[in-house]
Amino acid sequence: MVIRRIGMLTGGGDAPGLNAVIRAVVKTAIHDYGWEVIGIRNGFDGLIPPTSAEPLTLDDVRGILPRGGTILGTANRGSPLVRRVDSNGRVELVDQTPEAIATLEELGIDALIVIGGDGTLNIGHELAKKGVPVVGVPKTIDNDLPETDQTFGFDTAVLTATEAIDKLHTTAESHHRVMVLEVMGRDAGWIAIHAGIAGGADVILIPEIPFHVRKVVEKIAERDRAGRHFSIVVVAEGAKAAGSGQFYIQPKDELSLGRLGGIGEWLSDTLAMSSGHESRCTVLGHLQRGGTPTAFDRVLATRYGAAAVRSVAKGMFNHMVALKGNRICEVPLERCVGRIRTVPPDGELVQTARGLGISLGI
């Protein structure tokens, strides 16, 4: 198969390092292979008429390495697999992959690099099953994709959360308060447990281990007895008390996973009533997704982008580039979609946290 022109898009929530991938794809494709690169705007939306795509040159990617966000734009609602379409006043859900595939043909795109998390990679996999030559790049601050040791964006998110914990420590100590920090991660506690350990949290609550408020209160009391009249509690947005459900700001529907959030405020209020301390909640939110990527994420994103171009050159389609140990490899997309990678409740990280005296709420 002769490749002359490749397409690239970024889908789902943004993550620090997206621009580093885009830059690496453009530079490697042009320098090493002499291909043209077409940037598709706003995820798969750019493939649905009216099409939004344009060539990316070396000039277009100059200076973007340290920039957060994505110069291509992204979308994390809707997908060509199920799109809400207005037809004569009636809203219908339709499969628009035929339109997306037709656009790729019109644009003369010989292969498509999709940079995204579970949702985006799943769409890429479905397009691949219909004959589109697709290569995936694993992105998400949540670090919850299977078949790769790390997604880019995670390291930066953990640094942001760790810096927040460091700042909360000083004010918690001054005011003898309980400080609750709610971090992102959806159904995986990777950000919470990494940042919690890095920031020296006293309690870390993750979705994988349903917690008991009583155990959190006991930990705060234990610290009081030791003369430490403040506590730092890191709670993942998807964590839940034993026997209860997750907190949602916006429920799931047929087009989206819903928006998690609210556990931090609830926990802070509950702890204020039961621990004898004032308590405050900080919701770190989208600060975890913004800003300049760490050096680690820049290197990982760059390696992924360059490897994705090499995968296209080798004809290794319907695969995702992945990190195993310190090696970049390729994994079939079907093994990467439809499931997430969560923190093993009996794994080494949890054991390490326990050994440090951190409470996991059980």
Residues at the interface with ligand F6P (CB under 6 A): 13, 76, 117, 140-142, 184-186, 237, 259-260, 289
Report the side by side order of strands in the sheet with 134-138: 53-55, 36-40, 5-10, 111-116, 134-138, 319-324, 327-332
Residue 99, classed as helix, strand or coil, is helix
- Give the amino acid at 19: N
Asked if 143 contacts 188 with a C-beta cutoff of 8 angstroms, the reply is: yes
Q: Do 10 and 22 meet the contact criterion of CB atoms below 8 Å apart?
A: yes
Closest CB to ligand F6P among residues 119, 133: 119
Please, which residue, 141 or 161, has the CB nearer to ligand F6P?
141
> Shortest Cβ contact with ligand F6P: which residue?
184
Residue 281 beta carbon to ligand F6P: minimum distance, rounded to whole angstroms: 17
SS3 sequence of 156-176: HHHHHHHHHHHHHHHHHHHHC
Beta strands in 22-132 (DSSP E): 36-40, 53-55, 83-87, 90-94, 111-116
Element (DSSP H or E) covering residue 185: none
Structure tokens that stand for 242 in this block:
């034993």
Q: Which is nearer to ligand F6P, 160 or 231 (by Cβ)?
A: 160
Toward ligand F6P, which CB reaches closer, 31 or 84? 84
Q: How far is the CB of 160 from ligand F6P (least distance, A)?
A: 12
Report, in Å, the least distance between residue 259 CB and ligand F6P: 6
Cα 103 versus chain centre, distance: 28
C-beta of 188 vs 217, nearer to ligand F6P = 188
142 classed as catalytic: yes
Least distance in Å: CB of 51 to ligand F6P? 24
The residue from 45, 118, 142, 297 that is catalytic is 142
d(CA 106, CA 100): 10
* Minimum CB–partner distance for residue 155 and ligand F6P (Å): 15
Would you name the residues annotated as active-site residues? 142
